[in-house]
Structure 1
Amino acid sequence: MNALTRGKWLALLCLLPFALFFIVFEIAPLVWVLISSLQTEESGWSLENFTRIFTSKFYRQAIQFSLEISFYSSIFGIIIATLGSYSLRRVDSPLRNFVTAFANMTSNFAGVPLAFAFIILLGFNGSITLMLKQAGIIEDFNLYSKTGLIILYTYFQIPLGVLLLYPAFDALREDWRESAALLGANGWQFWRHIGLPVLTPALLGTFVILLANALGAYATVYALTTGNFNVLPIRIAGLVSGDVSLDPNMASALAVVLVALMTVVTVVHQLLLKRSYHVSR
């Protein structure tokens, strides 16, 4: 056995723990959820669970709210994160390290502490809500509504977006800007023809990650609304824990719908990436 063959076998052995972990904790649960979604206590094997999901206004509303909150919070989050990441790249001071460390810390600040913090700040009697009312800027604000959840989700999307987009700006070389300026291009033309095409893969990839992050969020929205807001993770958890009715097969079907939504988003992301690559060439 030569050195090249030994190297390949060693690489395969090193890959084995990861492969086992991936199969046991990723593939196996997904297969179990898929099998469970096709079963019902009354009819056995059938598509009844999916029929109930797509014919029920309640479950369709859960899908709609999940998509709307995830989409808008991802859009707002990536816009703010892009501006913040670009600003950090342009600032050469200790502030850059501080903001990066702060973003790393706040990206993990979610769940019950985040919901409690927003209740104190933006609840019905929150400090910021009361100040805005006294200033006459707003008449009323409901943190526990869809708009309030979009604001809450956007908050925990921004640090993650900054951490993902900050390295992407290393691909923009300063001499490209100088060369474009020498050729008569203004700032808008530089970003339209050079900056955005270079950053498009990173922006699309970050958007998909933010969307997945929001679609699967559970602890924060549950702690804020005590499970009374109709989104997919809340419905899945309620069916598994038996808050209203115990139906793990329906929960599995909702989980499959959630996975299908993310699969569609990922496929669209890959198509857009290929298109942007051909356009940039």
Structure 2
Amino acid sequence: MKSSNRGRWLALLCLLPFALFFIAFQIAPLAWVALNSLNSPEGWGLANYSKVFGSRFYLQAIKHSLQIAFWSSLIGIVVAVIGSYSLHRVDSKLRDFVMAFSNMTSNFAGVPLAFAFIILLGFNGALTILLKQAGVIEDFNLYSKTGLIVLYTYFQIPLGVLLLYPAFDALREDWRESAALLGASPWQFWRHIGLPVLTPALLGTFVILLANALGAYATVYALTTGNFNVMTIRIAAMVAGDIALNPNLASALAMVLVGLMALITVVHQWLLKRSYHVAR
């Protein structure tokens, strides 16, 4: 009994540095931002939030951020699912190479990625000119919302592959063989066995991809020099004072971003509970 209590206290003692680090670098900054979002020239209250939700400009930033995050995450997870499943069916050497490449490209973001896409898909990019000459496209604007979705999808796919690949280990080959022996078609196997098993991993990966896209800043700033209206650009502009210095309004917009992520997380947990009930 004493050794058990001693082990519990030792575990809590080992957890203390992490708890202090988490409070200092996660909870305290978030509390500071939340507190400052309530401070405005009019006094303490929700005036900053009224400005955010009463302005078509800031609502457009929220809309653009959600659209880019959703479509890049959706396309990224679809490609990642196909890629992760395919990796389980190929030679181990090719699998190791693709996983190493995915690990590298998932960290290839920010300014280098923006410049690489400008060289490839800019107005006079090498790939853009080739596609125009081949008659595949008539025009492509990398600096538009569609271009940003393409850019974001690039770093969403390898991250999705890294997150989803281990989930396919849960699908045992003998399950497929047993289902086939019982007369189940491939579609029935995936509908009743494969997808229910993979649903938690799919939902969790989709949420991580959404968070990854919503919080991206360096890539979109380097590509558009801060001229495209998304939430991270607006927050940084108000903190840096490029147009007007207003850190309290930036804090309110940051809390809206936190609220969106909290809502997505709540929906994710709800969908997970539903998937567990359906699986049972």
Give 1:35's aligned residue.
Answer: 35
Give the match for residue 165 of structure 1: 164
Paired residue type of 1:195: G
Q: Are residue 198 (structure 1) and residue 170 (structure 2) matched?
A: no
1:26 alignment counterpart: 26
Residue identity matched to 2:31? V
Counterpart code for 1:12: L
Q: Secondary structure at the match of 1:156?
A: helix
Q: Does 1:255 align with 2:221?
A: no
Letter in 2 for 1:61: Q
Deviations 1:47-87 (A, max 9, x none): 11000101100000000000000000000000000000000
Aligned equivalent of 2:183: 184
Q: Deviations over 1:136-187 (max 9, x none)?
A: 1111100000000000000000010000000000000000000000000111
Q: Report the residue type matching 2:101 in the other structure.
A: F
5 Å matches for 1:131-146? 131-146=130-145
> Residue 75 of structure 1 aligns to a residue in which SS?
helix
Partner Cα separation in structure 1 for residue 252 and residue 54 of structure 2 = 14
Q: CA deviation at 1:109?
A: 0.2
Q: Map 1:18-97 onto structure 2 (within 5 A).
A: 18-40=18-40, 42-97=41-96
Partner AA of 1:21 in structure 2: F
* TM superposition shift of 1:90: 1.1
CA distance in 2, matches of 1:94, 1:132: 33
2:7 paired with 1:7: yes
Read off the aligned partner of 2:35 and give its amino acid letter: I
Structure 1 distance, partners of 2:11, 2:148, is 46
- Structure-2 residue corresponding to 1:211: 210
- Distance in 1 (CA, whole Å) between partners of 2:80 and 2:212 is 15
Match for residue 151 of structure 1? 150
Q: State the Cα distance separating 1:44 from its structure 2 match.
A: 1.6
* Structure-2 separation of matches of 1:51 and 1:93: 56
1:93 positional shift = 2.7
What RMSD in Å do the two structures reach over aligned CA positions? 0.7
**What SS is found at the alignment partner of 2:83?**
helix
For residues 122 and 144 of structure 1, the distance between their equivalents in structure 2, rounded to whole angstroms, comes to 10
Opposite residue 216 of structure 2, the aligned amino acid is A
Q: Which residue is 2:99 aligned to?
A: 100
Q: Which amino acid aligns with 1:92?
A: D
TM-score by length of 1: 0.99
Q: Which amino acid aligns with 2:137?
A: I
The alignment-based identity, stated in percent, is 77
Q: CA deviation at 1:199?
A: 0.1
Residue type at the aligned position of 2:112? P
- Letter of the aligned partner of 1:43 in structure 2? E
TM-score (norm 2): 0.99
Which whole-Å CA distance do the structure 1 matches of 2:44 and 2:7 have between them?
Answer: 47
SS in 1 for 2:88: helix
Aligned counterparts of 1:93 and 1:21: Cα–Cα separation in 2: 40
CA–CA separation in structure 1 for the residues paired with 2:240 and 2:173? 55
Gaps of 5+ in 2: none
Name segments (4+ residues, structure 1) moved above 4 Å: none
1:229-276 alpha-carbon deviations (Å, 9 max, x no partner):
000000000000000000000000000000000000000000000000
Q: CA deviation at 1:36?
A: 0.2
Rounded Cα–Cα distance in structure 2 between residues aligned with 1:227 and 1:177: 50
CA distance in 2, matches of 1:137, 1:5: 69
Cα deviation, residue 2, structure 1: 1.4
In 2, the alpha carbon distance for the partners of 1:110 and 1:93 equals 27
Correspondence for 1:128: 127
Residues in 2 aligned to 1:187 and 1:151: alpha-carbon distance in whole angstroms = 32
CA deviations on 1:207-227 (whole Å, 9 max, x unpaired) are 000000000000000000000
Tell me the alpha carbon deviations over residues 6-55 of structure 1, each in whole angstroms, 9 at most, x when there is no partner. Answer: 10010001100110000000000000000000001x21202110001011
Counterpart of 2:176 in 1: which secondary structure? Answer: helix
Aligned residues: 280
Matched position secondary structure for 1:90:
coil
